[in-house]
A and B are shown apart, each in its own frame.
Chain A
Amino acid sequence: MSVIDAAIRPPLVTGGKTYKDVTADICRPLENKPTRLWWIGFIVSFFCLMILVASLFWTTWTGIGVWNINKSVMWGWDITNFVFWVGIGHAGTLISAILLLFRQKWRMSINRSAEAMTIFAVMCAAIFPLFHMGRIWVGAYWVFPLPNAFGSLWVNFNSPLLWDVFAISTYFSVSLVFWYLGLIPDIATIRDRATTKGRKFWYNFFSMGWTGSVRTWARYEVVSLILAGISTPLVLSVHTIVSMDFATSIVPGWHTTIFPPYFVAGAIFSGFGMVLTLLLVARKVLNYENYITIGHLEAMAKVVMLTGTMVGLAYITEFFIAWYSGVQYEQYAFLNRAFGPYWWAYWTMMSCNLIAPQVFWFKWARTTPWFLFIMSIIVNVGMWFERFVIIVTSLHRDYLTSSWVMYEGSYIEVGIFVGTFGLFFTCFFLFCRFLPVINMAEVKGILKNKE
């Protein structure tokens, strides 16, 4: 892609970096010994990952009963976490696919890590629908339309859960291929710089014989565009389908047509929240301030504000429609969210997702890294609560008042949630250690001073 930038535009990469600087800067964390900070982060993450393993083992060994879900609230922390993680994944796809198609150059220094985040987040997400099954040992493959010898035994194409299976698996595989494809030129660079035999072998293996010839670059560009084209509908479809798990049901508070756009907006919102969290740390720790500039942060803050406001609009619309519908159950469901026993969850959600992002109307808020970091955490918390509010407050008081219950997560459920963070960050730390966090090849394309 040719790079024609207006002279008045602030440069996307600052610090007067040259090609050589880019390669050196980005390869540095891979080629040096891991830092103390990396080790601490990795060990803590790995410990959390072990909590995940233990919690999942205990759940599968003993039964889903070790969670606190009950006869009325049959989905609790599990599906809350599932939607939370799937949502987080969305920023990666959005950045890599839609922003690519829209030729948004600023995406170039963040797309790699955002895509990695997508993949790890989808891995975390996939744990929940798998392990929330009462019989994972058969469910894990019965949900696929596999030919079998049981006569007419088949999956139910009416069920949104089945759509989920397709949506998530497609999403994961496309994201993985797209991410890997983008990595190939950079892996080749590392291969060429490798000094030890082992590194040479492995990076050579994974670079798939990349030569950097014009022809390969041309092919690369075309395939990237095609994959971007395939990924683009996924940005919309995955969370639309996830939202249909709720929207197609008859549970008051779930049964709303607004869910697909509302969920997609929420997903991008939470995804950017998570990207901000990660990059704010990474740029500091890895000294990438010149690549991930304030300009990037500001652009992301704007997306956060926009999507946060969209989500907030959806919250208010839901409330209005519940009143307007005249359906008693629907009205009660929403009043109960705001003023019932889980009011604190609702107002946490409201203040984190709708009110807090409004500070981004001020430039200072958009351009101050430490403040952005706090905001990104708030966004993540808010979006977790959004899913909790949707799932738990709708189920705990639905039609027949006799079955109204209260629900709070058990230690195991909390353990699994904490554990998915362990999985996520373990993967992320390994990623930082072995793969370039910034797409060197693309960033070189947007350098102003090419020497």
Chain B
Amino acid sequence: MELNNQYWKGIEEAEGQPEFVQTKGNEFHEALPLEDVLNATDLDLSSNRRDFLKFFGFSVSAVALAACQKVPVKYAIPYVVKPQGVTPGNANYYASTCLGCNTGCGVLVKTREGRPIKMDGNPLSPISKGALCATGQASILSLYDINRLANPLIDGKEEQDWTKLDTDIISKLGSIVSANGGIRIVTKTSNSPSFDKAVVAFKAKYPTAEVVTYDPISYSGILLANEQSFGKKVLPSYNFDKAEIIVSFGADFLGTWISPVEFTKQWVTNRNPKGGKMSKHYQFESTLSLTGTNADVRVPMRESKEGIYLISLYNELAKLAGTSQLPVKQNAELAGNAIKNSAKELFAAKGKSLVVSKSNNTNNQILVNGINIMLGNYGTTIDLNNYSNQSKFVEADFEKFVSELSSGSVKGVIFVGANPVYSYYNSAKLADGLKKAKLVVSTADQKDETSDLAGYVCPDNHYLESWGDAEPKAGVYSFTQPTISPVFNTRQAIESILLWAGTPAAAANAYEYIKSNWAADATIWNQSIHDGVYIKPSTIASVPSFASNLNEIATTLVANAPKGDEAELIVYQKVGVRDGAMANNPWLHEVPDPISKVCYDNYVSVSKTEADKKGLKQDDVINISVGGYSIKNVPVLIQPGQASGTYAIALGYGRTQSGKVGKDLGKNAYPFLKIANGTTSYNISGAVTIESTGDTYNLAQTQTHHTIEGRDYIREASLDEYNKNPYVRNEGKLDLVSLWEEYDYSNGHKWGMAIDLNACTGCGACVVSCHIENNVPVVGREEIRLRREMHWIRIDRYYSFYTPNEYLTKEDDINKENTDVYDNIRVVHAPVMCQHCSHAPCETVCPVLATTHSSEGLNQMTYNRCIGTKYCGNNCPYKVRRFNWFRYNDNDKFDYHFNNDLGKMVINPDVTVRTRGVMEKCSFCIQRIQAGKLSAKRENRKVQDGEVKTACMSACPSNAIVFGDMNDPNSEISKLYKNERSYHMLEEVGIKPSVSYMTKIRNVESNHKSTEHHS
């Protein structure tokens, strides 16, 4: 039906007025008041088409320019095509070799979705034996270091294309050779057969080329001594596990000396008092080293006088053996007749003893060789046939190189993994020499002092991006395989060398090249890459013939020994930072020094006696100068146990060219080093001048009280006390009444941990391991000063001071004694993490139930629920709870790896990154527990003992930490809980911790005249 009704818009329409009809089709009937809106000035805009195009063009280009700014694109895209072998959420493990230092520890690299995120020792590796040190653990972060070079550099400018560099370098090398100029490849000690072979190819192409080995830390004293004594210029292999008596003259073999993880694994095998026997370890040293803190008997000794003490030891032994003594007027002796006593015990354990020395003086080392020969230790505790390749550096070669460089006969230098401009004692001369060279190439993967002077920087891959082989010890091959494709436009050094040697690109590929070197037996290659190591049957150790004139050496040593008691400076390596190559790695600075507990700085450590004499106090800022070099404005640390009259400063600091973290951190002590008789000397002779500046500098220490104040949460006893009564200091069984109901753990697991204070060396590997595993933030020096480090596990280090008849742990008592007492110290290291108390005091006080108890005995943190009252932290008697005072990620105030996308790649995806305002703490690595339980469930079996390892346990080189299920009666943890030495820290508080500690036993005669106990 059609609508006939017509609705008018107005009377005009009805009437059909002509005006209306005319405008009917328009959108607006009325004329728009355009003239009112657009005033005269606007109307006569003289813009024409050309102007319009101008404006338009400008706008478009402006917008385009503005849009050119790189907007970060954040990808979170799942795999479209799943790579073979990668299941998102599941970790893959690859065997590789840690190149954090030159030791060559075999490692297992954990990768998640193609990113390596954690390393643990490879149990098949005879070097690491399944453990990894703090430095090695931390080295994974160097892969994700934002300060790495993204591209090669030509004269400091980035160059995307490698071919230009290669052409340049090859033509320059060619012209140098044709002008008969020398070419040198300066490399850190190489023990890679493939690299050595590549160098041979390089030398074939460039006949004037030679290889110069350069290491920042020298062991040439031992190399040259062995050359003179036995005709073999090698480092021997040491077998601390076969030694019942160990006498170390300053050698920090548990911390920094040659191969610390390997030595710790060996050393600890004889440190369990079960069965009534333990090795006995004497340490004579100037600075308190990690090894010194673990010795049974530690006596302070002036390192400059080590020679004459070695002579005394030799003579004491010769007396016992009835052989001829060395010609000295009077035998020197250390406090407590330590030399005589140790000689007696060494002699009684002939063939099962070991004398080592840190000294880099060839004569000292020859004498040590003589002592070990006399003791019959070669072939048992010392093995020259299966020698070590961990250091081959001999100063003479490098000195020759520097003078050739200065004279201009060397025109081309290629630095591979070496940074001598930083660590060479006379770096000014080296830097001057480099200016004369026509070609300087560095393979540094980030800016360093040497690469800064290099015209070409050809960044090497991080070792986790590389293929490689190494022979750290004769017959022990350890392989490196990439676990991630190169993050940046970098190239392996070996490929660079091969390409410059004219090898065709296909053959120069690191993988192809190394594989071809192992082509003789393809099965070896596949299996070795799988295992990470390949071990040739070892040669049988034998006794070498000894050919050195000890009388002559003794005369020289006596003549060179300092006559008076003038002060001396010791330059040493710190655990963690070591030689300073990884100075830009924040984990290494965040982990406190195991002895001083100082983070982020080096300092001059000095004995209490010497400090009193010079009027120095802790944190005073001084200028120190010795032998023409001086360091200004360096803080002082009073170090108990330091030999009086000695000052010490650590190497590895004061980098002038490094990333944000490492640059200008601490002071560089390398220029103090001197070469004496062809080897680098680490105890610096010459008058030590101390000049107080009147300033103070607050050293960031994580522990500022150093004694246990007579409390018995740390228990220790001597071996004979233990043999008389295995429960010594552990006798009292507390009969505690509890107000709380007991938890029922009978169903399922009950996790627990045991920590052997006797095994723990305090090395800090667990701390770094935990840092990585649990995404613990790095907070920096200022926060540590405010006592806010975030470590979930810490190692408490306690001194006790002994007088002839008692030993003191109370500060008041110590202050009453004279300062001599600071020389005679004993040290205990106690790792402390959350003790997962069954009656946890933190759980009851949380108002919102953010920390609760699990059915498996874990004390759990629910970050989401935490509101941050911090009451739990106050009520924790172990003080292991850590609060997120700030947001530590994406915060420019904490510009470490959590503040950039690259650094964040190291984050463990199984662990939450905590936000600000919440409490956190050790979780017993619950993510690892869950993973272990899941895999057991998938395979329909029970979780096996040892299957679940916490990060601290898996890192520990001394097997001091054992984790497991206490509901399994056969588990190691269950057995350890029944051990006589097992006790709980602060058991009397009634909180039922799930971590048990085991009494420290020292192999000394009892002098516990008055050990304090409370009932």
A contacts, CB < 8 Å to B: 62-65, 68-72, 74-75, 129, 132-136, 138-139, 142-143, 153-156, 158-162, 165, 245, 248-251, 326-329, 332, 395, 397-406
- Are A74 and B870 closer than 8 Å at their CB atoms? yes
Closest residue of chain A to B830 (Cβ to Cβ) is A402
Q: Which residues of A contact B986 (CB under 8 A)?
A: 399-400
Q: Report which of A63, A64, A153, A248 forms a contact with B865, defined as CB distance below 8 A.
A: A153
Closest residue of chain A to B710 (Cβ to Cβ) is A328
Q: Which residues of A contact B879 (CB under 8 A)?
A: 71-72, 398-400, 403
Interface range on chain B (Cβ under 8 Å from partner): 35 or more
Closest residue of chain B to A402 (Cβ to Cβ) is B796
Q: How far is the CA of A328 from the CA of B794 in the complex (A)?
A: 24
A selection of 24 A-B contacts at a CB cut-off of 8 Å is A63-B885, A63-B916, A64-B868, A64-B883, A65-B886, A71-B787, A75-B874, A133-B869, A134-B867, A135-B915, A135-B918, A136-B867, A142-B865, A155-B849, A159-B847, A161-B846, A249-B841, A249-B871, A250-B875, A399-B713, A400-B878, A401-B705, A402-B703, A405-B704
Q: How far is the CA of A160 from the CA of B871 in the complex (A)?
A: 10
CB distance from A163 to the nearest CB of B (A): 9
Q: Which residues of B contact A326 (CB under 8 A)?
A: 1014-1015
Q: Which residues of A contact B870 (CB under 8 A)?
A: 69, 74-75, 132, 134
- Are B917 and A133 closer than 8 Å at their CB atoms? yes
B798 CB-CB contact with A under 8 Å:
yes
Q: How far is the CA of A138 from the CA of B866 in the complex (A)?
A: 9
Q: How far is the CA of A395 from the CA of B871 in the complex (A)?
A: 11
- Are A71 and B709 closer than 8 Å at their CB atoms? no
Which 7 pairs between the two chains have the least Cβ-Cβ distance? A134-B868, A134-B917, A65-B885, A139-B867, A403-B879, A402-B796, A70-B787
Q: How far is the CA of A249 from the CA of B989 in the complex (A)?
A: 11
Q: How far is the CA of A160 from the CA of B846 in the complex (A)?
A: 8
Q: How far is the CA of A370 from the CA of B7 in the complex (A)?
A: 94
- Are B845 and A160 closer than 8 Å at their CB atoms? yes
Q: How far is the CA of A406 from the CA of B848 in the complex (A)?
A: 29
CB distance from B238 to the nearest CB of A (A): 33
Q: How far is the CA of A133 from the CA of B798 in the complex (A)?
A: 34
Q: How far is the CA of A36 from the CA of B787 in the complex (A)?
A: 48
Q: Which residues of B contact A74 (CB under 8 A)?
A: 870-871, 873-874, 883
- Are A64 and B794 closer than 8 Å at their CB atoms? no
CB distance from A270 to the nearest CB of B (A): 23
Q: Which residues of A contact B867 (CB under 8 A)?
A: 133-136, 138-139, 142-143
Closest residue of chain B to A394 (Cβ to Cβ) is B874
- Are B868 and A156 closer than 8 Å at their CB atoms? no
Q: How far is the CA of A401 from the CA of B871 in the complex (A)?
A: 20
- Are A250 and B886 closer than 8 Å at their CB atoms? no
- Are A159 and B875 closer than 8 Å at their CB atoms? no
Closest residue of chain A to B851 (Cβ to Cβ) is A156
Q: How far is the CA of A75 from the CA of B869 in the complex (A)?
A: 9
Q: Which residues of B contact A327 (CB under 8 A)?
A: 1014
- Are B886 and A62 closer than 8 Å at their CB atoms? yes
Q: Which residues of A contact B917 (CB under 8 A)?
A: 63-64, 133-135
B991 CB-CB contact with A under 8 Å:
yes
Interface SS, A side? loop
B877 CB-CB contact with A under 8 Å:
yes
- Are B704 and A404 closer than 8 Å at their CB atoms? yes
Q: Which residues of A contact B798 (CB under 8 A)?
A: 401-402
- Are B875 and A251 closer than 8 Å at their CB atoms? yes
Q: Contact flags (1/0) for B697-716 with A, using CB distance below 8 Å?
A: 00000011111111101000
Known A-B contacts A132-B869, A160-B845, A326-B1015; the reply to A400 vs B786 at CB < 8 A is no
B844 CB-CB contact with A under 8 Å:
yes
- Are A395 and B869 closer than 8 Å at their CB atoms? no
Q: How far is the CA of A331 from the CA of B798 in the complex (A)?
A: 21
- Are A249 and B705 closer than 8 Å at their CB atoms? no
Pick from B798, B877, B882, B887 the residue with the most CB of A within 10 Å: B877
Known A-B contacts A132-B870, A159-B871, A399-B713; the reply to A71 vs B844 at CB < 8 A is no
Given contacts A142-B865, A159-B844, 4 further A-B contacts (CB under 8 A): A71-B879, A134-B868, A135-B867, A161-B847
Q: Which residues of B contact A160 (CB under 8 A)?
A: 845
B884 CB-CB contact with A under 8 Å:
yes
Q: How far is the CA of A406 from the CA of B798 in the complex (A)?
A: 18
Q: Which residues of A contact B705 (CB under 8 A)?
A: 397, 401-402, 404
Known A-B contacts A72-B879, A402-B705; the reply to A249 vs B845 at CB < 8 A is yes
Q: Which residues of A contact B789 (CB under 8 A)?
A: 71
Q: Which residues of B contact A134 (CB under 8 A)?
A: 866-870, 883-884, 916-919
Known A-B contacts A62-B886, A134-B870; the reply to A156 vs B832 at CB < 8 A is no
- Are B877 and A399 closer than 8 Å at their CB atoms? yes
Known A-B contacts A62-B886, A156-B846, A159-B846; the reply to A401 vs B708 at CB < 8 A is yes
B788 CB-CB contact with A under 8 Å:
yes
Q: Report which of B711, B786, B883 forms a contact with A401, defined as CB distance below 8 A.
A: B711
- Are B874 and A71 closer than 8 Å at their CB atoms? no
Q: How far is the CA of A13 from the CA of B814 in the complex (A)?
A: 66
Q: How far is the CA of A65 from the CA of B788 in the complex (A)?
A: 9
Closest residue of chain A to B1015 (Cβ to Cβ) is A326
- The A-contacting residues of B in range 855-899, CB under 8 angstroms, are 865-871, 873-875, 877-879, 881-887
CB distance from B700 to the nearest CB of A (A): 12
- Are B848 and A142 closer than 8 Å at their CB atoms? yes
Closest residue of chain A to B702 (Cβ to Cβ) is A402
CB distance from A253 to the nearest CB of B (A): 11
Closest residue of chain B to A129 (Cβ to Cβ) is B869
Q: How far is the CA of A332 from the CA of B885 in the complex (A)?
A: 30
- Are B787 and A72 closer than 8 Å at their CB atoms? yes
Q: Which residues of A contact B841 (CB under 8 A)?
A: 249-250
CB distance from B843 to the nearest CB of A (A): 8
- Are A161 and B709 closer than 8 Å at their CB atoms? no
Q: Which residues of B contact A161 (CB under 8 A)?
A: 845-847, 869, 871
CB distance from A331 to the nearest CB of B (A): 9
Q: Which residues of A contact B706 (CB under 8 A)?
A: 401
Q: Contact flags (1/0) for B911-932 with A, using CB distance below 8 Å?
A: 0000111110000000000000
- Are A158 and B868 closer than 8 Å at their CB atoms? no
Q: Report which of B786, B797, B830, B848 forms a contact with A143, defined as CB distance below 8 A.
A: B848
CB distance from A337 to the nearest CB of B (A): 15
Q: Which residues of B contact A248 (CB under 8 A)?
A: 844-845
Q: How far is the CA of A68 from the CA of B883 in the complex (A)?
A: 13
- Are A158 and B844 closer than 8 Å at their CB atoms? yes
- Are B873 and A159 closer than 8 Å at their CB atoms? no
Q: Which residues of A contact B796 (CB under 8 A)?
A: 400, 402
Q: How far is the CA of A111 from the CA of B787 in the complex (A)?
A: 46
Q: How far is the CA of A155 from the CA of B847 in the complex (A)?
A: 6
- Are B847 and A156 closer than 8 Å at their CB atoms? yes
- Are A154 and B849 closer than 8 Å at their CB atoms? yes
- Are A249 and B874 closer than 8 Å at their CB atoms? yes
Pick from B873, B874, B883 the residue with the most CB of A within 10 Å: B874
CB distance from B301 to the nearest CB of A (A): 28
Q: How far is the CA of A127 from the CA of B946 in the complex (A)?
A: 50
- Are A155 and B848 closer than 8 Å at their CB atoms? yes
CB distance from B880 to the nearest CB of A (A): 9
Q: Which residues of B contact A136 (CB under 8 A)?
A: 867
